[in-house]
Amino acid sequence: MRIGKALRLKRIFASDGKSLVVAMDHASIIGPKGALANPQDMVEKVLAGKPDAILTTKGMLQATHTIQDPDVAVILRISGGFTMLGDPTDFQDRIISSVEQAIKYGADGVAITVKYGHKNEGQFIEAASFIADSCSDWGIPLMVEVWPAGPNVNDPSDLEAVKLGSRAAAEIGADIVKTYYTGSRKSFEEVSSGCPIPVVILGGAKGSTEDLFKMIADSLASGSAGVAMGRNVWGHEDPKRMVEAINGLVHGGWTVDAALESLVEG
């Protein structure tokens, strides 16, 4: 591993090997909804909670770079190419920027999505593999969002699909996998033990805070390396305290009850 990649990974992951990444890359798909309408206000509140990293876009970074915290790593999404105005049943990520451009933006890592099981799976994997090569050349970590989808996938959190996709992402040279929690500690142990790189879970649709915290705690107990979540964090009424609560779960060994109490106390 190149020195640059090793150093950047140390910025994304804390000394305990875990990471809390707040995803703020949604506006390119859904537009200025809710907290996304005011990027500076949202980012300022999230950063106040001290996540390990943020996952964002070029536009968001341009709008908020003056308030970025130098102690919070930046992962720049370089895939996309669709919006909610398109066909929601067939969103297809394309590579829409480059590793070199991400470095010019000061990124510590780049992120792309691969839809394993999709009819165009081969094209997605090919593009991702070449991005992994570029990341290796430039010494910058690659996060692959493993999104199972297609005729052989009944649910994106299906164990066999998540397990296969996570390992497949590692095999093409990814450094971090972001993917769905498979529903239980026992099943997710198969994902984490079968993948030789860190696996962080995504939050998915916004639901109850207690269920979210339980999912995080269970994933950590079954080998996840943390979380990469967005709507459940910046969509909360108090994003700062939400980040702090998840930090407690990820890094502090907090129980679900302790994390919930920290929100009430706020």
The share of the chain scoring above pLDDT 90, in percent, equals: 84
The predicted model gives 83-109 an average pLDDT of 89
Give the Cα separation of 92 and 147 in Å (integer).
Answer: 11
219-259 pLDDT, tens digit each: 999 999 999 999 999 999 999 999 999 999 999 999 999 99
pTM: 0.95
Per-residue pLDDT, 266: 56
Which comes out higher in pLDDT, residue 32 or 165?
Answer: 165
Q: Is the pLDDT of residue 176 over 90?
A: yes
**CATH number, position 140:** 3.20.20.70
Per-residue pLDDT, 78: 97
Q: Cβ(201)–Cβ(179) under 8 Å?
A: yes
Q: Is the pLDDT of residue 265 over 60?
A: yes
Which residues fall within 8 angstroms of residue 203, CB to CB, at 6 or more apart?
Answer: 23, 212, 227, 229, 230, 231, 232, 233
Per-residue pLDDT, 27: 80
Position 86 confidence tier, pLDDT thresholds 50, 70, 90: confident
Total of domains in the chain: 1
Give the Cα separation of 223 and 200 in Å (integer).
Answer: 9
The share of the chain scoring above pLDDT 70, in percent, equals: 98
Report the alpha-carbon angle 232-199-203, nearest 5.
Answer: 15
Q: Is the pLDDT of residue 90 over 80?
A: no
Which residues fall within 8 angstroms of residue 202, CB to CB, at 6 or more apart?
Answer: 23, 145, 178, 179, 180, 181, 227, 228, 229
* Residue ranges making up the domain that contains 218: 3-265
3-state helix, strand, coil in the chain (%, to 5): 45, 15, 40
Based on its alpha-carbon atoms, the radius of gyration of the chain, rounded to whole angstroms, reads 17
Q: Is the pLDDT of residue 65 over 90?
A: yes
